[in-house]
Homo-oligomer: A and B are copies of this chain.
Amino acid sequence: MSVLDQNYNPTLSVDCVIFGFDSKSLKILLIEQTKNIYKLPGSLVIKNEDLDVYADRVLKELTGLKNVYLKQFFTFGAPNRISKPEDILWIENNYKVKVKRIISTAYYSLIKIAPGTTKLYEKKHNAQWLNVAEINNLAFDHIEILKKGLKTLQNELKFNPAVCFELLPKNFSLREIQNIYEVIQDISYDNRNFRKKLMGAKYIIPTKEKQKAVAHKPAILYKFDKKIYDATFKETNLFNL
């Protein structure tokens, strides 16, 4: 006889925490589950398919973008993680399947929000970019997944600052970098010190472009040089004080 508990019937899903930045706020791409209740983009894994391949496809279908920064960060396996009657009903209606337990592998992704980039897909899936800071309720246990995704992004930024350029347009102002750091870390930095550090980073290069259509004096735009970053950035902060 099998050692597997007969009542134990796990199903897998993949959920994606898709972060974007609109030059001021950290956003997340969400899908309407039912009226005014949002969920993360994702789905049951219903075929013999690699989790990474599957997450990549969800992202492509939703945004139309390829080669996007996508990283697995945690698998949520609490036995009772999906327990609200409306959530169970939604799954049964949408997938025509009775599920006893769903284990979800979560990915996070960083996207440059540009006008129109994801518009078609937003319409098709009824998806919306919402402010992370304003979200306090989601379907299933997705608020937990969002929180853990944000925590992971905060850590990633600490030992690999290059991730912030995944969220910025090709050319950006120094203020935009500071904004990203401030919204992701939820800290205010001293303007002058922050700017000084950025000016000292050899991989942040001034361009000949300036900001357009701004009320204040237009700032110089910069670009990120990955080659210089890879060659000069010391990622170890060995015993700093």
Contact = CB atoms under 8 A, between A and B. Distances in A.
B236 A158 contact: yes
A214 interface: no
B159 A238 contact: no
Interface string A79-93: 100000000000000
A212 interface: no
A18 to B, nearest CB: 19
Please state the number of chain copies in the assembly.
Answer: 2
A8 B47 contact: yes
Given A237-B159, A241-B233, A48 B11 contact: no
Contact of A2 (B96, B233, B241): B96
Q: Chain A interface mostly helix, strand, loop or mixed?
A: loop
A233 B240 contact: yes
Interface stretch (A19-27, A28-36, A125-133, A198-206): A198-206
Interface of A: 1-5, 7-8, 10-12, 44-52, 72, 74-75, 77-79, 95-97, 100-101, 103, 105, 155, 157-159, 161, 181, 185, 197-198, 200-202, 232-241
Nearest to A7: B48
Contact of A237 (B47, B74, B78, B237): B237
22 contacts: A2-B97, A3-B96, A3-B97, A4-B44, A4-B97, A5-B46, A8-B46, A10-B11, A10-B12, A10-B45, A12-B77, A48-B100, A50-B79, A75-B105, A77-B105, A157-B236, A158-B235, A200-B239, A201-B239, A202-B241, A234-B240, A237-B237
B159 A158 contact: yes
A155 B159 contact: yes
Contacts of A8: 46-48
A139 to B, nearest CB: 19
A112 B158 CA distance: 28
A225 B49 CA distance: 47
B237 A198 contact: no
